[in-house]
Amino acid sequence: MGWPLALSAGLMEQKQRALFGALGPLAIGHLAAIFLIILPFSMLTVLVFWQREIQISAALILITFGLYRFINRRHPLLLARIAPTRLALWSFVIAIAHGAGLMLVPMYLGLHQADEMASAHMGASTLMANSVAMALLVSLVHVMAMITTGGLTAFLVYHWLGLTFVSRSWFNLDGFWALSLIAIGLIALGLTW
C-alpha cells in the first residue's frame, strides 16, 4: 500500500532516486508493525501445548477482520493527519490499520510444529529465543517481498504511466486487501486440519 507514496516522492522531485529513497522508511515502518504483532506470539511458551487452537483462533480473527475491512472501508481520520514526509510512521500506522501483521500470525504459527517442540524438551528461554528469531525472519521475509513488489510497482508507474495516469485514475485497493486477508485466513484455517 506504500507504493503510491514512493511514486509520489519520485514524481514530486522528478528523480528516480527519491522513489527508491522512500522505500527505506516505508520498509522500516512496515517491519516494526509486523514484528510488533508477531512478537507476543513468539514469546508464548503455551504454543507448545495449544498451538493448533491458537492458530485456528488467529485464522478466524483474520477472516473476521477481513470481513470487517471489506464492509467498512473507511479509514480512521488519524491516517489522513500523518504528513507524507513521515513515511516510516505512516507505514507503521497503515500496516497496523490494515492488519498486515495479523495476516502473518496464522502462517507464523503454522511454521512451528507443537509436537516437535514438546518432544524436544527445550527450556522455555531456548524456545522463546528460537521463536523470536523465527518471528523476526518471518517479518523480514514479508517486508522484503512487500517492498520489492511495491517498489517495482512504483518504478513501473513512474517510468511508463507517470503523473498523468495517477492524476486521472484512482483505484482503491481496500476491497482487494480485505479479500486477501480473508483468503489468507481461510488458507491458514485449511492448513490446521
Mean pLDDT by runs of 10 across the 193 residues of the chain is: 76 84 87 81 62 79 86 69 73 75 70 51 49 77 86 86 72 75 83 75
* pLDDT for 111: 62
CA 114 – CA 141 distance, rounded (Å): 22
* pLDDT for 153: 84
CA 135 – CA 133 distance, rounded (Å): 5
* pLDDT for 125: 47
* pLDDT for 29: 87
* pLDDT for 80: 62
- Look-up of cell digits 513512474: 158
- Look-up of cell digits 495449544: 50
| DSSP helix/strand/coil, 111 | coil
**Which residues does 73 contact at the CB level (< 8 Å), separation at least 6?**
172, 174, 175, 178
* pLDDT for 46: 53
Q: Are 64 and 179 in contact (CB under 8 A)?
A: no
Q: pTM here?
A: 0.62
Q: Are 63 and 192 in contact (CB under 8 A)?
A: no
CA 101 – CA 30 distance, rounded (Å): 9
